[in-house]
Structure 1
Amino acid sequence: MNRSPTRQQFIDRINAIDQAIEQQINLSTQLPILNIAVTPSGVICNGLMVVAYATFEDFISARSTELISTINPQQVSLADLPKRLRREMSVGAFTNFASKLRYLSKTTEEDMLVDRVAIESHVLGTQTSPAYMFSAYTFSPAGTNLNVTDISNFLRTVCVADAWNAISDLSQRMGFGVPGLQEAIKRDGELRNKAAHDPSFSMTLPDLRNTLQRLRAVAAAFETVFNSALAHVENESCAEKCKNGYLATRTKILRIEERRGGFGIYLEGSDRAKKRCSSVGEALTEARILLSGRQGVVMLHDKQGRPVDWNL
């Protein structure tokens, strides 16, 4: 089972923020009601919101790079890569790195900065070579923070034409049940900016909790769509087959739930276990065997039936 360290870090951080919310809820019930515009709880929630959104931004960019780097140049020539991807891995990566370099030059020691430039120069220099490489800056936001346009642009590099419909449809099938994801994530980005820069703004606990669930939903769906689309890039057929309708019908979803002291593997839409296992690890192994090829995802649900983790 492909267990990405980038995905694990995202899930661990989001879960830690969830635990911090629980502690805040318990603490808020013990504090007196304060007749002030900005409450201690609001200030803490503001900080958690900024951390949560930064965690989400890091995941989308880093996981995209992690996935695209699995393309083998010996199997897929540079000329056979999608044109948009070729542009992003060269012009896009160079532009993104040049932009970040202004910040790095102020915050990074001289020796480390020179090494970083040398590494990126080497990677970017392979763009005309059969042994091409992908820069860590291939998938970076166009502005200071990641937005909904960046997310759709990242998926377009692997020929996903209608990215947000693909993300929304798949997240619903995964069990997240979060409607209107594109507009909701756009609003979350605006709330993140308020939490970071508006001294009079106070994020509420319910809003923060809802944001975490949306970030999970988009992260899981985005990664799965990207991974499924990547299979077509490697097969040199992405332009024809990697559209939203194809992904929606071909991406297979299994879920693992803990019931009656064991762990059941369920097909999408079914409440009858395909197989029962004694541990999560065993269930993940068996579920991966049930998935055919690369286009599939295994969802892990908690005891309340909510999706909390996933594996490709």
Structure 2
Amino acid sequence: MSGKVIITCAITGGIHTPTMSPHLPITPQEIATSAIEAAEAGAAIIHLHARDPETGRPRQDPDLFMQFLPRIKQSTDAVLNLTTGGGLGMTLDERLAPAHRAKPEVTSLNMGSMNFSVAQLARKFTEWKFDWEKSYVENSWSTIYPNSFDMIERIMVEVGQAYGTRFEFECYDLGHLYNLKQFVDRGLVEPPFFIQGVFGIAGGMGAELDNLMFFKQTADRLFGSDYRLSSFGIGKAQMGFLTMTALMGGNVRVGLEDSLYIGRGKLAKSNAEQVTKIRRIIEELGMEIATPAEAREVLGLKGGDKVGF
């Protein structure tokens, strides 16, 4: 894997709303098509949320996930990574329901409770396609995104130990690395650890390259050779952060969950467009992208034949 970079693509997420971009995948059909296109463009891992097909509101209904998971699996060899974060305001049982149904190779796992606000996005719009959007976005200013130690432990036991699922450890702050270290020391998770640094969300680490470097130095100190670094920057920080992460020997994540744009003021027309752009940057820097098989090997995954869909 020397010089090879794993590209993750986060297809739709649970933050952006239909008003913000006409290209955001909403229906199971749109999510499946966008995921397949991203895989064909070079994404080895596809990170997935679901939405109400009528309104676009984030939903963790396992039946919705099962409308696109089998199709993506049949059409690509990509690793399918399911969210356990879900959407703002969901209970942990709601957040875990798709993972219990699908028993995937990978799920996300947020490593700490935090202020998590996207309320600033509401100021950009005066008209909304759906009634739920404005309040959903604005209410993030007054809520806390809960990921307590007992919630994290439940996910590790009920999903990781029960199904052989591994995790994309989403770390929005430096302290989240130390949270993970507690569970590593207790033996609840085993290496290699796929650590995703998240930069630029209001309430987390700022999207500054100095923060990325210190984040990596801290992870190096805590986990040594037992982890694989990945990162992404929110919004306009996206491509710069990914380029720096690749130059530091890490892996990258793109997708309309993280940024709706492909350039300054220009909406991305698809997830594949973002994958294509970061792939071009990576290859022009003299590196190669990893295949799904190579990603499975380096992350120690159980394989696509051992999932529940």
Same fold (TM over 0.5): no
Question: Which one has a larger percent strand, Structure 1 or Structure 2?
Answer: 2
TM-score by length of 1: 0.28
Q: Which has the larger radius of gyration?
A: 1
TM-score (norm 2): 0.28
- Judging by fraction of residues, say which structure has more helix: 1
Higher relative contact order (CA 8 A, sep 6+): 2
